[in-house]
Amino acid sequence: MRGSTGQSPEGREGRESCLVGLIGSGVGPSLSPALHQREADRHGLRYLYRLIDIDPLGLGPGGVGELVRAAARLGFDGLNITHPCKQTVIEHLDGLSEDAALLGAVNTVVFGEDGRAIGHNTDWSGFARSFARGLPDAPTGEIVLLGAGGAGAAVAHALLTVGADRLTLADTDPARAAGLAGL
């Protein structure tokens, strides 16, 4: 991410602040601002985290592209993306990380120095690390996963990486669940 000084995270000296936001529906009660601010404080960063709720703006998930473009113009360094925009945001980005492309879902957008918006998916790796740390002895032979949307795809991938033998997916949209069979 670039800060308002235009420096990369590696060149933090002289960095004034990072402006980031969360785009999604009903994000008012989100814990993300407090969690991100606490972590930024630990690293000595000035971190401004803004909630961008599509509901009061009268936008559906398709409006995420307009918001991403506006955030780039306004100098945001990056965005978190949540329900229901994790999949619809993809068509509005300039590129995807390998994980985001594989999962077909984005939860993080980073604006590069060149203005390009690149989508990433950190949901799966965060879930996998938390699962391994918090449930190291949990049986992974047969697992049922409810939900195959953006976060569901990430969790399915994570469960397969931690050794799930059999993963059964259930979703209100059976085609969406079947679409994850290729993971």
**Roughly what angle, to the nearest 10 degrees, separates helices 150-161 and 123-134?**
50
The DSSP H or E segment spanning 116 is none
According to the model, what pLDDT value does residue 178 have?
A: 87
Catalytic residues: 86
123-182: CATH class: alpha beta
Q: Which of 125, 133, 135 is nearest to 103 (CA)?
A: 125
Q: What is the pLDDT along the chain (183 residues), one digit of tens a residue?
A: 444 434 444 443 445 799 999 999 999 999 999 999 999 999 999 999 999 999 999 999 999 999 999 999 999 999 999 999 999 999 999 999 999 999 999 999 999 988 899 999 999 999 999 999 999 999 999 999 999 888 898 999 999 999 999 999 999 998 888 888 777
Q: Which fold has domain 18-120?
A: Rossmann fold (3.40.50)
Query: Where along the chain do its domains lie?
Result: 18-120, 123-182
- Residue 11 tokens, joined: 């060149």
Residues 29 and 51: their CA atoms lie apart, in Å, by 10
Nearest to 153 by CA among 172, 177, 135: 177
18-120 and 123-182 in the same fold: yes
Q: pLDDT at position 96, please?
A: 98
